[in-house]
Amino acid sequence: MADVRVVELAGIGPGPFAAMLLADLGADVVRVDRPGGPGLGVDPACDLTNRNKRSVLVDLKAEDGAEAVLDLAARADILIEGYRPGVAERLGVGPEACLARNPRLVYGRMTGWGQHGPLAASAGHDIGYIAVTGALGMTGPAAGPPAAPANLLGDYAGGSLYLVTGLLAALHHARAHGEGQVVDAAIVDGAAHLATMIHAMRAAGAWQDRRAANLLDGGAPFYDVYETADGGWMAVGALEQRFYDEFTRLLGLDAEEAALRAAPARWPELRAAIGARFRTRTRKEWTGVFSGTDACVAPVLSLEEAPAHPHLAERGTFVREGGIVQPAPAPRFSATPTAVRRPPARPGEHGAEVARDWALTPPGSPAAT
């Protein structure tokens, strides 16, 4: 993707992550930062979502600010913004203005609620977006409240990944037909779409609309998480019978206990038996028991522990760059391998470089801001 130019209007959350993913894939991503930064108090040197990017400073409220962004848009393939609906238009860098300068431009809009609807102009965050789609209501124990899955499910899965998918599809269309367009990526749409299989199972009568009552939500004792003797946790996903048989054999359940799988009414007994067995050894000991088998059991690791897992270490799933351990670019390519090429871009540090490479001229050039 080295021939793809991307303009990112600085924001927080899913927009920057989407731009990082494009940058990881090789695109030339220029982040347009505003003077003073986003105000989150995060050291720019540690903001990994700005890796593999370059940064210019533009004050969009200044007289020549919009023109500077339009100059970039005229030379870009993709533009990403994450403002509330109407804000980009008021700043003079909305889709109409940008597409007038570059009819082939793919204009990506990343929001929580989308560009229209009763809540479109309202503030929000990940937890609210996944709440109204039903996704949050599927998490957590039956007797407790739903469990917030950080901001991975909404912001990044339902937001960033759907935006990137849309941008690449629209870019393919633009290059084939010379026609740009607007991509309206809403977290509520993406999070709802992620649950397509669950909706299908519910329609078929194979999913109950309540927590911890189903095959994949902890309702089944052979698809759950269990505490070990040292307070650690092991994740069990022994769904298929042959994997379940391997799991129960290695766990040490007797034949009568293992047979409870076939009697859902007695699953509480099976869960208790599995839990009792796991509490007899430490997480490290159980990891050794199940390692390399088809029992579908894995230790629950912390963020700090994960990079040292033998499988992830051998694959290079995490890399250390600039003194920071971070996830490596994904997915992998046989002909065009990806890499962390640049550390997180500091606001404005590439103004002159971008002006040169993108053939920008003052006063529209970011180097002049």
Instruction: Please identify every residue annotated as catalytic.
Output: 125, 155
CA–CA distance, 234 with 5 (Å, rounded to integer): 44
- 351 Cβ neighbours under 8 A, 6+ residues apart: 56, 57, 365, 366, 367, 369
- 55: which 2 tokens? 């940064």
d(CA 121, CA 117): 8
Backbone angles phi, psi at 281, to 5 degrees: -140, 165
- Separation in Å, CA 17 to CA 21, 126, 155, 186: 6, 14, 9, 15
Contacts of 154 by beta carbon, 8 Å cutoff, 6+ apart: 112, 126, 127, 129, 130, 135, 187, 191
Which pair of structure tokens corresponds to residue 32? 């347009």
Q: Are 68 and 9 in contact (CB under 8 A)?
A: no
Q: Which tokens in the block code for residue 35?
A: 């003077």
Q: Which of 366, 368, 348 is nearest to 358 (CA)?
A: 366
Cα separation of the two ends of the chain: 28
Strands (E), 138-294: 181-186, 223-227, 233-237
| Distance separating alpha carbons of residues 263 and 260, to the nearest angstrom | 5
Beta strand pairing status for 233-237 and 106-111? unpaired
CA separation for the pair 220, 276 (Å, rounded): 16
The residue assigned the tokens 């004792």 is 221
Distance, CA of 129 to CA of 189 (rounded, Å)? 9
Contact 278, 221 (CB under 8 A): no
Q: Are 194 and 186 in contact (CB under 8 A)?
A: no
**Torsion on CA atoms 205, 206, 211, 215, rounded to nearest 10:** 170
